[in-house]
């Protein structure tokens, strides 16, 4: 029996309907979309169909969507491209202390290029205070980048409130929505964002494809230079199979969200939490109780190190909130920013559910985890 997969925030399996969508473009329909013959036109039509599907799921126009190789490239394109294209507006950027490295590291690089970056703190639930954004804005601020939902604890940031502030000051707002797209509604006009990152492998599409929403009129410098693909912003022959896959995955996700999938996943997540509390005890929730991704449960077990727990659970595939480098424990930057103690932080385990998670798996996982927690505590 395969391990119970509870690491959907790390990556998702590819939906079988998505596989069916992409396979013909690996074999029969192999043409270059730039070629002016039937093979090329078929590829071009597939790319534009996929673009329309992504746009429909985000509530924008197809012309506001460019395809990328994934969330990291989308974040880099958004941050670096926007920073340089709008440098005359100012060289100051605002972000949060709990962003993904795909945001934090490009910003560190921009600091080396002469940009100034403010890293806003978060509260104990991992939430950014919109008033802190307001206070941090200066006449030199050109861009704010705040993630939609956190990958470790699932905190859903108040983007609509933040965007009301950035628009008041004429500042652009980017959001890394890699974790939220496909799990909760991510309509760009409701959120008020100017740029938004999508990562395919977080929503049942393959690894190696993503998208970036760029609101019409927002200036972004090209990141990859070459021929004029993707409106001149992202050079390179289009990855037709994976673009088709992402479009299908976005279409499926939008339909499943409307049909109530988030509520179904939330019920399983809360069932897992309740059973862990009942069977193991000493369970502390990390992150907000309500304003959280419906699939994400980050908990610490008192008296237990999360990495040690998972190492003793070969039947569970999950993640911890810390990493071990050269034998030295390193607390997750997210949990550290939230103010967790070392004991609580190193006790953290992230259990993230998904489309294929079943009630039977939840019950078995809870029993296995609780039994091992008790064993460790007794040793």
| Residue 144 Cα distances to 111, 151, 176, 257, angstroms | 15, 19, 11, 28
Residues 6+ apart with CB under 8 A from 246: 50, 54, 67, 198, 200, 205, 209, 210, 211
The single residue of 227, 274, 324, 356 carrying the catalytic annotation is 324
Q: What is the pLDDT of residue 326?
A: 36
Contacts of residue 358, Cβ cutoff 8 Å, sequence gap at least 6 = none
In the prediction, which pLDDT does 232 show? Answer: 77
The tokens for 257 are 């969200």
Q: Which of 249, 228, 198 is nearest to 78 (CA)?
A: 198
Cα 49 to Cα 35: distance, rounded to the nearest angstrom:
17
DSSP string for residues in 19-65? HHHHGGGTTT----TTSSSHHHHHHHHHHHHHHHHHHHHHTS-GGGE
Under-50 pLDDT residues of the chain = 324-327
Q: Look at residue 39 in the predicted model and tell me its pLDDT.
A: 87
User: What pLDDT is attached to residue 358?
Assistant: 97
Strand order in the sheet with 65-68: 65-68, 210-214, 195-199, 172-176, 141-145, 92-96, 116-120
Answer for the pair 159, 189: CB distance below 8 angstroms, yes or no: no
State the pLDDT at residue 322.
53
Is residue 324 annotated as part of the catalytic site, yes or no? yes
Q: Residue 325: enclosing H or E segment and its boundaries?
A: strand 322-325
pLDDT at 329: 67
Q: How far apart are CA 304 and CA 347, in angstroms?
A: 5
Return d(Cα 10, Cα 148) in angstroms, integer. Answer: 16
Give pLDDT, residue 324. 41
With contact defined as beta carbons under 8 Å apart, do 182 and 253 qualify?
Answer: yes
According to the model, what pLDDT value does residue 34 have? 84
pTM: 0.95
What confidence score (pLDDT) does residue 325 get? 36
Sign, CA torsion 351/173/185/57: negative
CA distances from 366 to 113, 277, 348, 360 (A): 49, 9, 15, 10
DSSP letter at 192?
T
Token pair of 306, please?
């999360």
């Amino acid at each position: 029996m395969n391990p119970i997969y509870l690491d959907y925030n790390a990556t998702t399996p590819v939906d079988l309907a998505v596989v069916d969508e992409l396979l013909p473009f690996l074999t029969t329909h192999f043409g270059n979309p730039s070629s002016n013959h039937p093979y090329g036109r078929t590829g071009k039509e597939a790319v534009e169909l996929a673009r329309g599907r992504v746009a429909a799921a985000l509530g924008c126009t197809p012309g506001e969507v460019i395809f990328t190789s994934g969330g990291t490239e989308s974040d880099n394109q958004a941050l670096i491209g926007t920073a340089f294209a709008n440098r005359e507006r100012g060289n100051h950027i605002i972000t949060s202390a709990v962003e993904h490295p795909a945001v934090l590291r490009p910003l560190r690089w921009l600091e080396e290029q002469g940009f100034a970056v403010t890293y806003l703190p978060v509260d104990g639930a991992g939430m950014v205070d919109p008033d802190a954004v307001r206070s941090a804005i200066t006449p030199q601020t050109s861009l704010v980048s705040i993630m939609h939902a956190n990958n470790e604890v699932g905190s859903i940031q108040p983007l609509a409130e933040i965007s009301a502030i950035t628009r008041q000051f004429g500042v652009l707002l980017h959001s890394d929505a890699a974790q939220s797209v496909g799990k909760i509604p991510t309509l760009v006009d409701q959120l008020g964002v100017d740029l938004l990152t999508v990562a395919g492998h977080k929503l049942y599409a393959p690894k190696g494809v993503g998208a970036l929403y760029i609101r019409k009129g927002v200036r972004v410098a090209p990141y990859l230079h070459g021929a004029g693909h993707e409106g001149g912003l992202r050079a390179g022959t289009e990855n037709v199979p994976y673009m088709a896959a992402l479009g299908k995955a976005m279409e499926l996700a939008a339909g499943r969200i409307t049909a109530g999938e988030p509520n179904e996943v939330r019920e399983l997540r809360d069932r897992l939490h309740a059973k862990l509390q009942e069977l193991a005890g000493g369970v502390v929730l990390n992150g907000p109780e309500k304003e959280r991704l419906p699939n994400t449960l980050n908990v610490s077990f008192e008296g237990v190190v999360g990495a040690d727990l998972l190492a003793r659970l070969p039947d569970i595939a999950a993640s911890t909130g810390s990493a071990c480098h050269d034998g030295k424990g390193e607390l997750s930057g997210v949990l550290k920013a939230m103010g967790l103690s070392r004991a609580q932080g190193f006790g953290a385990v992230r259990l993230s559910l998904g489309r294929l998670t079943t009630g039977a798996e939840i019950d078995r996982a809870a029993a296995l985890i609780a039994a091992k927690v008790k064993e460790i505590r007794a040793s």
